[in-house]
Amino acid sequence: MSPTDVSGHTDGPIVRMAPGTFAVDPEPSGPPYVLDGPSGLLVESGPSGTVALNPGGGIVLEAHPDVALRRGYCCGMDGERGPNLVRACGAVIATVHSDCYQVQELRLQPDAVVRLG
């Protein structure tokens, strides 16, 4: 993670997971986004149980063939429309958040992975 200055700014991206680590997020992650009544904010209501990894985690994945799902701004893909990475066979398995305005992470879809051991 990049160190922050007194204003909370960083010189580089903030990466959620250290290389070689992972976490299973029990909360909903990603789209669709729904309106939260009490707060009036849009909140994530995608799948629970996604596996968060470092975006450079060594998994060989390819960009989704649908260009709309590869959306991003200046530095990478934003994942705001859902899974944007596929395996070579075409199976949709992950979402990478890699644009400069985001916390950097790779999220594996819970129905696309099996935990061994």
Q: Residues 44-76: pLDDT tens digits?
A: 999 999 999 999 876 889 999 999 999 988 889
Altogether, the residues listed in the chain come to a count of: 117
Specify whether the CB–CB gap between 107 and 84 falls below 8 A.
no
Token pair belonging to 90: 């075409």
| Coil, strand or helix at 3 | coil
Token pair belonging to 89: 């066979």
pTM: 0.84
Report the pLDDT value the prediction gives residue 11, as an integer from 0 to 100: 77
